[in-house]
Each structure stands twice: as structure tokens, then as C-alpha cells.
Amino acid sequence: MANRHNLLNGPEPAEFRPKLKIVIVLIMVALAVLLSRLWYLQVIKGDDLKQRSENNSIRFRKIMPLRGLIMDRNRRVMVDNRPSFDVLYMPSRGKDPDHLIAKLKDLYKLRSLEFSYDQPLSRKLKPYLPVRLEKNVSMEKVALVETNALDLSGIYIDASPVRLYLNGETIAPVIGYTGEISKEELEKDDEYLSGDVLGKHGVEKHLDPYIRGSRGAELVEVNVYGKEIKNLGRIDPVPGYNVVLNIDADLQKTAWEALNGRAGAAVVLDPRNGAVLAMVSSPSFDPNLFNSGISSEQWSKFVHDPLTPLSNRAISGQYPPGSTYKLIIAAAALEEGIITPDTKFFCNGFYDFGNRSFRCWQKKGHGQISLHRALVESCDVYFYNVGRLLGVDKIAHYAKLFGLGETTGIDLPNEKGGLIPTKRWKLARMKEPWQSGETISISIGQGFNLVTPLQLVCAYSAFANGGTVWKPRLVNRIESTDGSLYKEFLPEKRGDLPFSEETFDLLGRALWGVVNESGGTGRAARRPDADVCGKTGTAQIIGLPENEKARREKKIGIFHRDHALFVCFAPLTNPEIAVAVIVENAGHGGTVAAPVARKILDVYFEGKKSMAQPQAAVQGRLAEATD
């Protein structure tokens, strides 16, 4: 029985006590170690670990604002926004970026997709600053990253707005495009952050402070896979202001189509106030290409293209004005009293000066010719004589009254000023005195003369409106998102043409004759209403031999052929539209540039008629109601 009792109750307590004490001591030591470690983590390293824990589970994300809309004068949207999806990498959540990117590339290859990020990731990445791997990716790539999130820890999709250019290349050099801020731009202004998007060209750049809005931010809690599980706080972004241009989208499209892919420019202005109704530069580019981050190959192609599609020829293309300059010469000579309306010169097809013979475009000559017919038929010899009597400095004085040879101040970046030469300019620039033969060349818009298409249309607009040189205005107003006015751009006067009424009347009728009289060089711009006044021009790019046979035999490359110009306004009385067209290396202004202007004028006046018909119908019904 005693043995059975011992088996049931085990060893006596006295025998177990030494072992129990050892176990208790071990437990106490272990607890002491755990408590000391806990104290170290909670007290000594508590703040640091808390911050690290929060950083591992909380993500700070900036929210890009919607850029303001850009609309034409009739409030038709030309530039909008659309959602874009980017592939980002968060260094704090991905331990081996090279391995992750290799995985992503393999997933892409299975779907025949290309991985566009071609730069090695720095080993000094900030843990909680995301790196954009791809921008504006397709929905197929979005789905691929999302469905493989478990295998791509640290790589995720982020949404942001990008520009949608609805009119594409027809207005790209004017509107411009946007792009991610560069290192140089970041260093200049501490207001920006890495990854910010800003205007890089055109209106987008010029009005970027108004258009871009203010970025927002939010704190989100994410799980171990980087998925958002809770929003901890948010500051909403503020959208940018909307912009209403003076551009008429219909005229813009017409001018673009009329150039038909040829290199050149067309500018349409309201001579009553300087509003720019259309501005085309060809060739152009698709600004939507820049939304995905343009490749270095594509950028190099743009930059090295001899036709310079990224430039805005309307404001930065500098060309000899050719015979369009004869209006300035005629006005200067009349105002200086050097000639009268009845002054005549004899044209036999050339003008001898010293040992050189200056040709007229009309080989047989125009015979005895007066000022009116000299403008109508564009006689070179007449203006050789007049220009020599005026002298280079008098010519320059009047050209500058018209606003030539200096920037117009249009609300666009990168405008160029052209060149109107003087004796002082040549001496300072070339260390040589002015030669009399050079005056003869500039008298027909050749030689050193350089103007932009915008300057030409501004000059003719000033003549058309009776003498007011307006500053050209591309932007009409800036509005808040609810449509209320924030800033309005009113007509701004730049100068005056101090000409007599007789000069305006005489030369106005001559410009009308260029288009509407028999023998006029601008007949291709004639409309049934006979309301167009203008001047053709053919600008020579390189010097040609005086001998006719040698001229025919000389081979001229395409980039050295003559430019075709035409500048006009309509109607003769109270003009409301002015157009300047240049088509590069295309030949004669009357046969090439004038038809382009004619198409623009037709659309403008047809649009006026279509608007007037409903108004007339309404007025008729009102009159019937009152009878």
C-alpha cells in the first residue's frame, strides 16, 4: 500500500525543492532580460521605433492639381485634363529594387510590353520618397501591376492628371506642352518639388503660375503589401485658373489646313484691337506625346529636324519681307514729300547702279509707271528709285513706326525682334560703312531686312485701322473654375502712324487694287464681295546671277528657294480682319500665299453671315410682335 501511495503522489517536496529553485531563478533571469529589453525599446528607443513603425505603415502622398482649361474665344475647350496612371517604386517597402524591376520586366515580356524606364536606380534612395518608373502607362500595365502586387512589394500604381490637347498639332506651337520639372528649374525656385509638372512652352509656360493650381497632400495607412487601408488626413488640391484665348478654333483649323503641310506660318488679327484670331506654325508636333515623357530619341529627332517643328514660326521665324515692305517705303516717301501720287519712274526691267544691275521681277519692264500701279503690279524698279531717294535711316525710322524690327510684346515666350538695318547698326555690327547699293536692296524688302509674320500683320493692321499700332493679344481673360473673371487683358496701344488722311486713302486704294484690279499681283485673294486689300511678296533667300541664262542653269536647293508672302486686311472700309501668310521655299506670294489667305477670309466672313441670320430672324419676329 505504501509503495502504491508513493507512486501516486510522486517524490517528496523536500526532494524537489532544489530543482524548483533553479527553475525559478532561470525564469526570473529571463524575465529580467525581457523587462530590460522592453524598457530599452520602450524608453530609450521608443520615439525612434515609433517613427519607423509609422513610416512603414503610413504613406505621404502629394496630390497633383488639375491644370486650368484652355478655351477659344467661343469657350470651346482646346486643352483639358485626363487621368494618367504611373508605376512607382517605394524604397522603404522593396528591399531589392533590381530584383523587383527584373520581375516586372519579365511580366511585361509575357504580354509583349516594353519597360520604358532605362536608368539604373541609385543606391542612395530616400526610403519614403517614391521613384517614378513609368509615366502615363496603359490600362494593361495597370492591371498587370495590380494583379501581381504580392510579388512586386514596393511597386504600385498612382493616379494623376495629365493634359489632353484636343486640337493637337494644329495649335501646338502656340499652346505648348507640359513636362516634369527639371533639376535646373528645381534649383531656381524652392516653391517646386521633385515630380511637379509645369508648362514648358507656349501658353502653358507663359501662364503657368495661373494655370497650374496648388498641389494637395494626404496621409494614408497601408498594409504590408502597400495597399491603402485607411485615410488619415487630406489637404485637397486647388485647381488652376481657366484661360480664354482670342483664338477662333474654326479659323485656326482653316489656316492649318490651308497651309496643307507646307513649312510656313499664318497669323490672323483683329485690326480694331490687336486680338489674335489664329496663329499657325507648320510643321508642328503632337503635344500629347510629352504626357508619357518623351524619349531621348524622339526629342533628338525634333531638335535636329531641319524644319524645326518645335519652333513657332509666327513669332520667331525671321524672314525678308519682300515686296510687302513696299507699303512702308511708299508711306515714308509720301510723308517726307519725296514723291507725290503722280510721280512716275520708267521701268525697263532693270535698274543700273554703279557696276551692278538690279532686276525687276517683270523681265520686260512696266514702262512709265506711277505709285498706284507700282504697288498694284509690284514694280521693283519704281521702289529702287524711291528707296534711294529716302536713304536707309529714313526707311528705318518709318519701318519702326510700323513696329518692325522689334518684338511686339505678345503674351508668348521666345518672340524674336527681326532686324531693320541702319548705318549705325552696320558700322557697329560689321565694322563697315553703309553702301548705297544696300539701300536699293532693302527698298524691296531684301538685304538685311528681317521680320516675323506677326510683325507684318501688326504693321498692316495699324495701317488698316487708321494708324493705331496695337499690342497683339493672344489671351482674352483668366477665369476661376466657376467662370467668374479673375483677370482681363484689354487692348493695349503701342504706337501711332502719324500719316495724313491722304496717305491712308491713297495707299489703301492701291492695296485694294493689288487684289481687285487687272494686273494686280494678289488676284488669287479676290472675293466676290471685292473687299480684300493686300500686298504680295516674294522673298529671295540667296543671291542669284544677274545673267538670265546663268540664273536658269544655277541649281537651287529646296531650302534656298524663294519664300511666298501675302499680307491683307478686309474690308477696305472699317477693316475687321488682317491676315499674314508666309510659305517657305514655295515661290511667288501671289500664287502660293494669297490663296491661303483667301480661304481664311472666306471662313471668317461666312461665319459672320451664319451668325447674322439667326439674329436677323429674331429681330424680324420682334418687329412683327410690335406691329
> Which positions are catalytic?
323
Q: Can you tell me the distance from the alpha carbon of 55 to that of 67, in angstroms, rounded to the nearest whole number?
A: 31
Q: Can you tell me the distance from the alpha carbon of 46 to that of 217, in angstroms, rounded to the nearest whole number?
A: 28
Q: Can you tell me the distance from the alpha carbon of 450 to that of 319, in angstroms, rounded to the nearest whole number?
A: 5
Residue type, position 520, single letter: G
H-helix segments, 40-153: 46-57, 97-110, 139-147
146 φ/ψ angles, rounded to the nearest 5 degrees: -65, -45
Q: Can you tell me the distance from the alpha carbon of 395 to that of 391, in angstroms, rounded to the nearest whole number?
A: 6
CA-angle at 55, arms to 53 and 57, nearest 5°: 75
Spatial CA neighbour of 359 closest among 507, 538, 510 = 538
Spatial CA neighbour of 572 closest among 516, 622, 500, 611 = 516
Q: Can you tell me the distance from the alpha carbon of 154 to that of 145, in angstroms, rounded to the nearest whole number?
A: 11
CB-based contact 78:167 (threshold 8 Å): yes
What cell numbers appear for 21 in the block?
529553485
Q: Can you tell me the distance from the alpha carbon of 158 to that of 155, in angstroms, rounded to the nearest whole number?
A: 10
H-helix segments, 220-295: 249-259
Helix (H, G, I), strand (E, B) or coil at 352: strand
CB-based contact 300:487 (threshold 8 Å): no
What dihedral angle (degrees, nearest 10) is formed by the CA atoms of 50, 94, 142, 59? 20
Helix (H, G, I), strand (E, B) or coil at 59: strand
Exposure string for 114-131, b = 16+ CB within 10 A, e = fewer: ebbbeeebeeebeeeebb
Is the peptide bond between 83 and the residue preceding it cis, with omega within 30 degrees of 0?
A: no
Beta strands in 186-295 (DSSP E): 197-199, 216-222, 228-235, 242-245, 264-269, 276-282
Residue type, position 18, single letter: P
CA-angle at 27, arms to 24 and 30, nearest 5°: 150
CB-based contact 71:224 (threshold 8 Å): no
Q: Mind giving me the DSSP string for 241-254?
A: PEEEES--HHHHHH
